[in-house]
Amino acid sequence: MLKLKKILSAFIMAIISLSIMSPLLLSTPVAMATDEDELSFEMWTLDWDTISVDAGDVIEQMLRDIGIRMKAIPISDEVLYDNLDLEHDYEVYEMSGGYDPYPSHMTPRFHSSEIMDYGANDMAYNNPEVDALLDQANAELDFETRVELLWQVQDLIAEDLPYIPLFTSDDVHAIRKEWTGYVCMPGGIFNWYNRLTTINLQHEDQEYGADFIMAYPSYIRYYNPIMGTDGRSALIVSMVYDDLVAYDADMNLTPWLASAWTVSEDGLTITFTIVENAKWHDDVDLTAEDVKFTIDFYKDQDVPYDTPLMSRIDSVETDGDYTVIVHMTEPYAWAVNDFEDVPIMPKHIWEGKDWDWAVHPDTMPIGSGPFMWDSYLDGEWIKLVVNPDFWMEGKPHLGSFLVRVISESSARYLAISSGEVHSDRYELDTGFIDTADNDPNLAPLEDTWCVGMWDYYINFNQRTNPALQDPVVKKAIAHAIDKNRLVEIARLSYGTVTDTYITPAFFGPAYENPDAITYEYNVFLANQMLDAAGYLDIDADGIREMPVAVEEPDEETPVFEAETIEELEAEIASLLSSLSDTASSVSSLESDIEALNSRLNSSLNIAYGVAIVALLVAIIAVYYATRS
């Protein structure tokens, strides 16, 4: 009896596994067959990012108007990034890249040296002219000339369109209305390069000494200032540590720890003058030695951060206590900008340490910034208090800055609305914008509305589908997308449409090129371009087909023996009829494929049904077998 049971259950298991496996084995080739010669693409969006998903769905709809099927598929970031880093065989994706305070994204995104595993040039865009111009721009010290070079780069890219810029999702913040003094800067009122907000923030009834509480979605990652580049750690790092330079509200460089700097004419020597009254939080004076130490530290230990800058620095020397002279190996246009990202570290603490030293919070990260490390509870909160000896007169205004972890986004919003915390590290999720707009406890959203640092774009892989290598298709797509409508739907109008690759709204009006190549919303034009390029909808299913490969005319020119117009017309008529024959046979083939497909689908369904029934039978059988 027992043996019988075992045999029975083994048999059932075999049936189940077979019936489950068979559809899986069959299903792969089916999906590939029909899409091959149509303008039909898979566009990946980021599943947790509602803006990316919503914009993707809208784009899919818009492109139907020009006969392109752009299937928007939300996908998890693990799968997406794995593909960008290693597999490189996606077709299209639509999500945000992210700006730095100066246009440092151009070289990684477009330079062919970044076509590699883990490289930033995802789409494998390779244009030697662009490479040369980018190299030239990175070495060009004169700002005006550099911007003109970047205009040329953008025009070249706009002709090839490896990606189409769409919009930036703007930063609207929920902050309680009693707080003033925050500075709106592209990237938001709270950001690691927005050093002005944290020193100017104050309570409306209390100019100095008020306690500010900010909600974080999760705890910071690093206490180490070099590695703290993620959004949460970087804000804390920017408050505890100082950099040599900073940005003002219009994204121009302003003095910070360096009260002045000069760049020599050949670009090989940069001289920084350090403020004289700066002190470390443990009361040691901050001098040029510390700055020299920091730069040497990066270079000696091959710190893998800020490499574009550090690899171009030859040596550093000090002249007195408050002058630092940096010698470059080659002229580098963005050298001073890059120093904005280098936290100056105390020599008397970091000497002899490794760059990835896990600064233990109990020993209190010592910096020179406006706030000092006070206390913390790992995973829950961090308290910074004001640095009374901060070198800038009368700053900061706050008394303390408390960071509190609240994991859940609705809980964060409720906490701000009820006053338990005062603002959030990040901008409002799109879902909360309407509620926040009507909340009497919050500052009006217009006051906190800054251009966002997250730039959304559609990226076309230049390796996979041949249609995506044809600029005409991409230009037609660019014409067919109504970016204003995208912003309205995906970000409830709190976004900025981007037409160029260096958005003047973010990087400043100096980058505005009045003659830039842009693509306005024009569905009619898009359709015409595709028609002219031979992308026609032959089988009338609403999706254009790839142009049929045109045979070389000099080899197969139809020989017209006709002498008169009438004979010529007859010839043409016969040619036309043979063409229509071909078309009809193509469409009958298509319908055959369709029929085969549906048969296959139904057999798949049957297989799954059998599997489920087999499973049920097995469960019942096991139940009866064990009951005895």
Partner 1 sequence: MGFKEYVGKRTLHGIVTIMLAVTLNFILFRIMPGDPTRAVSGDPRVDTATRLALIAKFGLDRPLIEQFVLYVYNLLRGEMGISFVQIGRPVIDIILGRKMINTIILMGSSMFIALFLGIVFGVIAAWRRGTKTDISLIVVSLATYSMPVFWFGMMLLLVFSYYINIFPIAGTITPGIVHANFFEYAKDYLNHLMAPMITLGVSFFGGYFLFMRDTILDVFTEDYMLTARAKGLSNRKILFKHAMRNALLPMVSLMGVHVTFLISGATMTETVFSWDGLGRLIYDSVRNNDYPVLQGIFLFMAVLVVVANILADIVNAYLDPRIKEAVE
Q: Which is nearer to partner 1, 248 or 356 (CB)?
A: 356
- Asked whether position 88 contacts partner 1 by CB under 8 A, the answer is no
- Asked whether position 381 contacts partner 1 by CB under 8 A, the answer is yes
Query: How far apart are CB 171 and partner 1 at their closest, in Å?
Result: 16
The two structure tokens encoding residue 42: 């898979």
Which residues have a Cβ under 8 Å from the Cβ of 282 and sit 6 or more positions away?
A: 346, 366
Q: What share of the chain is helix, strand, coil (3-state, %, to 5)?
A: 45, 20, 40
Per DSSP, 544 falls in state P
Q: Candidates 343-351, 354-362, 435-443, 504-512 — which segment interacts with partner 1 by CB under 8 A?
A: 354-362
Q: Which is nearer to partner 1, 354 or 389 (CB)?
A: 354
Query: How far apart are CB 275 and partner 1 at their closest, in Å?
Result: 29
Taking alpha carbons only, the member of 305, 368, 314 closest to residue 342 is: 305
Taking alpha carbons only, the member of 213, 152, 620 closest to residue 416 is: 213
Element of type H or E holding 31: helix 2-35
Q: Which is nearer to partner 1, 159 or 230 (CB)?
A: 230
Interacting residue with partner 1 among 356, 434, 520, 581 (CB under 8 A): 356
Task: Give the rounded distance of the alpha carbon of 241 from its chain centre.
Answer: 27
Q: Which is nearer to partner 1, 115 or 625 (CB)?
A: 115
- Asked whether position 135 contacts partner 1 by CB under 8 A, the answer is no
For 515, list phi and psi in degrees, rounded to 5. Answer: -105, 20
For 463, list phi and psi in degrees, rounded to 5. Answer: -95, -30
**How far is Cα 503 from Cα 49, in angstroms, rounded to an integer?**
22
Element of type H or E holding 284: none
Q: What is the CA radius of gyration of the chain?
A: 31
Q: Candidates 29-37, 78-86, 175-183, 597-605 — which segment interacts with partner 1 by CB under 8 A?
A: 78-86
Query: How far apart are CB 365 and partner 1 at their closest, in Å?
Result: 13
The two structure tokens encoding residue 613: 């029934």
Query: If binding means CB under 8 A, how many residues of this protein chain bind partner 1?
Result: 58
- Show the binding pattern over residues 279-318: x = contacts partner 1 (CB under 8 A), - = does not: -----------------------x-xx-xx----------
**How far is Cα 458 from Cα 72, in angstroms, rounded to an integer?**
11
Interacting residue with partner 1 among 65, 82, 129, 434 (CB under 8 A): 82
Query: How far apart are CB 537 and partner 1 at their closest, in Å?
Result: 36
- Asked whether position 602 contacts partner 1 by CB under 8 A, the answer is no
Interacting residue with partner 1 among 222, 432, 460, 507 (CB under 8 A): 222
Q: Which is nearer to partner 1, 174 or 538 (CB)?
A: 174
**How far is Cα 54 from Cα 294, in angstroms, rounded to an integer?**
45
Dihedral, CA of residue 185, residue 189, residue 191 and residue 196, to nearest 10 = 70
Interacting residue with partner 1 among 27, 61, 76, 602 (CB under 8 A): 76
Q: Which is nearer to partner 1, 411 or 596 (CB)?
A: 411
- Say if CB 454 and CB 169 are below 8 A apart: yes
Q: Which is nearer to partner 1, 211 or 289 (CB)?
A: 211
Q: Which is nearer to partner 1, 5 or 105 (CB)?
A: 105
- Asked whether position 79 contacts partner 1 by CB under 8 A, the answer is yes
Q: Candidates 13-21, 56-64, 76-84, 577-585 — which segment interacts with partner 1 by CB under 8 A?
A: 76-84
Q: Which is nearer to partner 1, 219 or 608 (CB)?
A: 219
CB atoms within 10 A of CB 162: 24
Q: Which is nearer to partner 1, 442 or 614 (CB)?
A: 442
Please, which of residues 389-428 interact with partner 1 by CB under 8 A? 400, 402, 404-408, 410-411, 414-415, 417-418, 420
- Asked whether position 78 contacts partner 1 by CB under 8 A, the answer is yes
Positive or negative, the Cα torsion across 342, 345, 347, 349? negative
**How far is Cα 328 from Cα 317, in angstroms, rounded to an integer?**
12
Element of type H or E holding 169: strand 163-171
- Asked whether position 255 contacts partner 1 by CB under 8 A, the answer is no
- Asked whether position 47 contacts partner 1 by CB under 8 A, the answer is no
Q: Which is nearer to partner 1, 429 or 447 (CB)?
A: 429
Q: What is the 3-state secondary structure (H, E, C) of 570-587?
A: HHHHHHHHHHHHHHHHHH
Which residues have a Cβ under 8 Å from the Cβ of 311 and sit 6 or more positions away?
A: none
Q: Which is nearer to partner 1, 74 or 119 (CB)?
A: 119
- Say if CB 422 and CB 214 are below 8 A apart: yes
Residue 34's region, left for phi above 0, alpha for psi from -120 to 50, else beta, is alpha
- Asked whether position 118 contacts partner 1 by CB under 8 A, the answer is yes
Which residue is listed with tokens 């800055």? Answer: 401
Interacting residue with partner 1 among 127, 224, 337, 430 (CB under 8 A): 224
Instruction: Count CA within 13 A, CB hemisphere, residue 301.
Output: 19
CB atoms within 10 A of CB 528: 14
Q: Which is nearer to partner 1, 330 or 380 (CB)?
A: 380
Q: Which is nearer to partner 1, 182 or 401 (CB)?
A: 401
**How far is Cα 441 from Cα 313, in angstroms, rounded to an integer?**
50
- Asked whether position 353 contacts partner 1 by CB under 8 A, the answer is no
Question: Residue 33 is which amino acid?
Answer: A
- Asked whether position 221 contacts partner 1 by CB under 8 A, the answer is yes
Query: How far apart are CB 66 and partner 1 at their closest, in Å?
Result: 31
Where do contacts with partner 1 occur on this chain (CB under 8 A)? 76-79, 81-82, 85-86, 97-98, 100, 105, 108, 114, 116, 118-120, 213, 218-219, 221-222, 224, 227, 229-231, 233, 302, 304-305, 307-308, 356-358, 375, 377-381, 383, 400, 402, 404-408, 410-411, 414-415, 417-418, 420
